[in-house]
Amino acid sequence: MKDGDSFQQARDEMVIQQLTARGIDDINILEAMRLIPRHEFVPNEVRHLAYRDTPLPIGDSQTISQPYIVAHMSAMLNLNGSERVLEVGTGSGYQTAVLCLLAAEVYSVEVNPRLAERAGDVLAELGFDNVEIYVGDGSVGLPDMATFDAIIVTAAAPALPNPLRGQLSESGGRMVLPVGDERRQHLEVIRRSGNRWQIEEADAVRFVPLVGRYGYPSTTTDLM
């Protein structure tokens, strides 16, 4: 991807003021977010806000996550470039793009066909070719493509979905997801070693709800 569109300065400032200043120090994440044109992933009406320190609406009551949250959750996956990654909740496709620059293969599932199509179009236009987008219920994972070295869920789950746990690679698979009730959650980081799953509770967050078999029955939203 080439440098230097008219938002480059806003992007550089986003990286310094929102990411580096809050302790994100993975050079690959900082460089990815300095390069990826976040404004391409949001609707025209909010394009001028694309580099603000906030989530933004992307239509159908869904959101593109705050830049810091994208960086922070990516850092929790500890990617070295060789991994197969599953993302649940493609949304705008921006987090997907970041993962494409940090890992070898990205599989992303979005339940909303309109969002999935738009994200797929933007990613293709920008030249990302190591990603496959699926339309469906990502709360059950992607059994046909499993296992994954890393899994990221970008919608809040009432509990850790069992199928996702099983689709993590047995040797060092890791997952990050928001878990809690529909108003308030915390991030959980899960590490698998054989048939042991170590679960660590991290930051308080507020995400739109995961729907589907292992999600919440309803969808109300206004958040990350």
Q: What are the tokens at 131?
A: 């990603």
Q: Residues binding ligand SAM: what is the number (CB under 6 A)?
A: 28
List binders of ligand SAM among 63-82 (CB under 6 A): 63-65, 70
By CB under 6 A, which span of 11-19, 85-93, 141-149, 170-178 interacts with ligand SAM?
Answer: 85-93
| Closest-CA residue to 175 (of 213, 138, 224) | 138
By CB under 6 A, which span of 12-20, 45-53, 99-107, 134-142 interacts with ligand SAM?
Answer: 134-142
Strand partners, 158: none
Q: What are the tokens at 123?
A: 């990613």
- With binding defined as CB under 6 A, does residue 212 bind ligand SAM? yes
Question: What angle, 0 to 180 degrees and rounded to 10, lies between the N-to-C axes of helices 113-125 and 94-102?
Answer: 50
| Chain centroid to CA 78 | 14
- With binding defined as CB under 6 A, does residue 161 bind ligand SAM? no
Coil/strand/helix, residue 202: strand
Count each helix (H run) and each strand (E run) in the chain, helices first.
Answer: 6, 9
Q: Among 59, 137, 145, 197, indicate the residue that binds ligand SAM (CB under 6 A).
A: 137
Q: Is 105 exposed, middle or buried (0-12, 13-18, 19+ CB in 10 A)?
A: middle
| Chain centroid to CA 139 | 14
- With binding defined as CB under 6 A, does residue 85 bind ligand SAM? no
- Catalytic entry in 6, 61, 65, 171: 65
**Residues 175 and 153: beta-carbon distance below 8 Å:** yes
Minimum Å gap between C-beta 95 and ligand SAM is 4
Q: Among 67, 89, 120, 141, indicate the residue that binds ligand SAM (CB under 6 A).
A: 89
By CB under 6 A, which span of 8-16, 22-30, 187-195, 210-218 interacts with ligand SAM?
Answer: 210-218
By beta-carbon proximity to ligand SAM, the closer residue of 26 and 137 is: 137
List binders of ligand SAM among 7-66 (CB under 6 A): 62-65
By beta-carbon proximity to ligand SAM, the closer residue of 88 and 168 is: 88
Cβ neighbours of residue 101 under 8 Å, at least 6 residues apart? 28, 31, 32, 35, 36
Check if 82 is active-site.
no
Whole-angstrom distance, CA of residue 10 vs CA of residue 127: 22
Looking at residue 219, the DSSP 8-state letter turns out to be: -
Q: What are the tokens at 216?
A: 């919440």
- With binding defined as CB under 6 A, does residue 138 bind ligand SAM? yes
- With binding defined as CB under 6 A, does residue 142 bind ligand SAM? no
Q: Which residues belong to the active site?
A: 65
Interface ranges with ligand SAM (CB under 6 A): 62-65, 70, 88-89, 91-92, 94-95, 109-112, 115, 137-139, 154-155, 207-208, 210-212, 215, 224
